[in-house]
Structure 1
């Protein structure tokens, strides 16, 4: 259990701005093993949102409160995944081949496509959350960040890292495997079952189909993944999870 607690703290330190692992020494192998607890960190972030939703619900109108909750999630994660989304969109829009896409993604400047993409992702996430029925809102706030971090486990476990010069994401991708995928998937399934009952299993099935599509797309277009791809996939799946709750679960 001591090793698992270590890995959970390591995952929390990487995915959030909270100083939960300053005293821990890391290695690429330990970073890869910490992927197993990415969905669990998502649940903790979701729990933070649920508590704040309860605390502020009587003080703020729903429309304002949902915007605040999204801003808090962005702040708690240091906008890490949004940065990846902007870089990926710029690369896909401007690159003619894999090398061109990766070169643009590495550029720290954000282009028009990245800006527009960020605006639309945030707008869609806000509108989807705002329209989730109140009876399902707490469950949605919990499962959304959990599913968003689960997709990182899937892509890291089944794709290769495509930057030959290496990078932070490479430490996770190169050392992730079956153990990380099974633990992460079990976490998501259990959370969905507790929160939504049998409908939660169907929800995870649909998210799993989307994960397969993303995996195949990135393999075909880039030959694998980078850290930016993992971050962008998180944003895509968070939005998709809210949309599926609207379309399938709450109906």
Structure 2
């Protein structure tokens, strides 16, 4: 490429290389997704099609970046864990963040009709993203534990909230009745008033979704495998506890 006298402006770019020997986590989060879910008639408290679409979009990101070892998602967010030693985009935070959220957003829109064939997409969904570094294995595990604990807390509240709304309360009344209640009181409310044992609800609602690569699968960075929408069978989708030791013992290779 021919040089010009204007090329000096490249020196204004900030080299935002992520610190080496750290886990890189890119978290994608829906912007104003409560409004989006209402406009598009998502079922409350959980819409299976919406969750499946999020998982599909996450698989699209993992097909693009073979250095992602694990993805964890719940509700309208997804976290992608890159290998500690990844050299993708020379570890530039801005490139990793922008490309992950771009691929996720475009996949979400691209696959919309597959999961919502009878619901027109009224306006484009928006996701933001951020990059966070975790220097130790325990820091990274604690991050994922935090997200799964948050999934449980939010889902327990939302399950109570929408049961009350469906039972006749206004949203303000439901919110007021739950204000200050703890987990035990919410569980008791569900069981005594709605005959619902929270622990019997599907794991995907209570635990969120973990996506791993199936062992022995080909490198997803190959050009001819990047955007095959039917290749999700090459991923392992789990809904289980990630806070305890059992998961990390079974998948010890993730940390090596």
Shared fold (TM-score greater than 0.5)?
A: no
Structure number with the higher strand fraction is: 2
Structure number with the higher helix fraction is: 1
Scaled by the length of structure 1, the TM-score of the pair is: 0.29
